[in-house]
Structure 1
Amino acid sequence: MTTDVLVIGAGFAGLTASRELSNKGYTVQIIEARDRIAGRTWLDAKLGRNLELGGTWVHWAQPHVWAELTRYAIGVVPPADYEKAYWHADGQSFQGSPDELMALLDGPNRELLAPSRALIPLPYEPLSNPAVKAADQQTISERINALNLDPMSEELMRSFWALNFNGRLDDAAFTQALRWCSAACHDWLLMFEVCSAYKIQGGTAALAEAIAADSNAELVLNAPVAEVRQTDSGVVALDRAGNEYRAKKLLVTLPLGALESVRFYPELSSGKRAAARLGQIGMGAKLWIKVKGRHERFVAMGPADWPLNFVQAEYLDVDTTTLVAFGPDGSAVDPEDATAAQELLRRWIPDIEVLEVAGHSWVDDEFAQQTWAMHRTGFLSESLTELQRPEGDIYLAGSDYASGWGGFIDGAIESGLQASMKISNALKIES
């Protein structure tokens, strides 16, 4: 059987595109490598509660995901008020209020991101000002250096951006930071709120399941694709078990890091292959940690090269506290090693006692090979347009290829909507 559209991947991009196309009357089949939907978001039962192992946060400043939440009458969980902050900078440990920590970051971030309005005035047209191409060759590390900050401010800024990139900053594109700020109305404080404040009621699974239920697409799980061939009559995909899937059009929603895990005949363009080989910066870790005792609701920052450079208290129970932590190098954090997590946390709180840890190594996940999409220098000006360009009957979509909120659920939905429109228009022309 030949369907109108075959979709590789049931993350938010694939689910959104499939819903749009199937509800227009096209036959759509989704083949998903995992035994579940939702891609790099994953709500799972860990440490005695449902925890988000991957992507989490949403905001009304993200128009695509907010429209979906409105469509399905799904609310958000507001953030808690934090009471205490720990930070480590310039070789010293500090304690204070969260407002004091944010004040240390405020001036430097305003200065760093001041060019966002001039260079990226339209967040969903990030190349509209040709001058952005020169800025795209600069790293965020170079731009922080140029601020000539005092040692404490510089170290905190590097940690803050290592948190945002979930990776090391040596090749991290300055334009990636500008794109986020532009999408947040050129306001870094709003940008930070978007990144870290509001969660979906019922978790990311609630939204993914609502989109899937609103679709007429056929879903096939546990079917990792090995090979794709373009023919004169459309596209043929083979999964690892040898099953064959035929369609007029193919939408590939693999992350950039996993794009080369599928063999394409003929090969994708040299530009797409070069971008996939380079990959992106988000190669870090997210770890959930349950500790003994009911702690104050705190946030903690450490140097950018610590295995865990950011921690915050998410859930306070009667005699335990559950923390979420991030680090820039996924290979430096073992999501099953409670002893190592305790050693890291004691850099801030010397007597803290870790009971359990949980997490998922997205970098080691063969279907992801990265965390959220944070791009290298040159990606915006040299790769994004090419990755968004269809090749024959093959289209790409996903958070990695979004114009706006790349790295977020919103970007995945945006990209899925754009791809579905391109595919629909192509099918109309051919019918």
Structure 2
Amino acid sequence: MHEQVLRRVILLGTVAILGIVGMQTYWVATTWNLNDTEFSQKAQLALYGVARQLAAENNTSLPKRDIVRQRSSNYFIVNTESEIDAQRLEFLMQQELQRLNLDIDFEYAIFDCSTNEMAYGGYCFADSEPRPPAARAGNLPPDENLLYYFGVKFPTRIGYIWQKMQLVVFLSVILILTVAFFSYSLVVILRQRRLATMQKEFIDNMTHEFKTPLSTIRIAATVLARDERVARDARLSRYARLIHEQYERLNGQVEKVLQIASIEKGDFNIKRERIDLQEILPPLLSSARARTEERDGHLTWQLPERPLPLYADPLHLANILHNLLDNAVKYGGPSPRIAVIGRVAHDHLHLAVSDNGPGIAPEHQDRLFEKFYRVPTGDVHDVKGFGLGLYYVAQICRAHRWDIRVESKPGRGTTLHLRLPLSTSPEAVPA
């Protein structure tokens, strides 16, 4: 993941999370206020209903205003201007609360004129389940401006409102878990990126360090092969040739790693020029045929008998064709049967490289062009490689805006399809 992409992901993710948290906080606060307002209104309606019934039973009239006064969020005083019976008050309170669907505990007290204090009435539970007697839950202060009144307190108001907000609380918990998961994922991504950067730098530095000894090995192998005494000795000559072949193999892997590193750093340049594929492909096919015949295999090709002009980087084009043919030889089985078929349609060259190997399962085909990915073969590793060849091919095709895809079925071989736009003029650049 590139640095700019990672920064954008972090920035957009943080902004999104902050926005969601802000909206959730606003939603919780708004829902709380609505439920609190609804509770206060229902409580006042219930208390007003109790006061009205008490006044009717005592054949008195209620004050014209300020019948129910809210002294705090959960404490109300009701002015009746008539005497109050405690048992009757408790019954009417329970009746009115049930009528308004207020299933909440309450405690009440009645003002005693003789002592100028609130006479505690009792604590009433919302349900009818038997419970031990409750102690006084809190202070119910009097009102100095009234004479006949009672006070009602709802000690479980906060719990009642939270119970009404169960869905909001549940969604808030999910949001908190989501934010925690995002934060943890972000930490893991940053840690993995740091480790990947360290690994990449190590591989790049190690690959560069290989260049000097490889050059020395190449020079030594060349000098050794040209020595007359070595040329006369078949065994020494074979050793010299083996050293040079292994140098070529290792140097090819090093060059591939360096090219991929250049692509990933962004300083990779494609030097396009007008070339004819008919001049590049035959030598590659001849080399692949020789390697195929060494394994008792067979390679055939069928190309249009006409020039195939392309606007491409000749070096990288030759490299990707070599990689496709090399993969067909290596993974074509004990006796590979390889076919290279090209056809022209709609100003494009469709090139297919097929083999008769074991094929690739569908679940592995989407990852075939990933870096370092190799199709699992269990404990058998009869084909050597690092999983860089097809990744390099995919990167070069992407840089040229070419299409490449894989077609394979287990037990029926593999075909890699390459679609290349033909050049119509020396300056034409494919779109």
TM-score (norm. length: structure 2): 0.20
Identify the structure with the greater strand proportion: 1
Structure (1 or 2) with the larger CA radius of gyration? 2
Structure having the higher helix fraction is 2
Q: How high is the TM-score relative to the length of structure 1?
A: 0.20
Considering Cα pairs closer than 8 Å and 6+ residues apart, tell me whether 1 or 2 has the greater RCO.
1
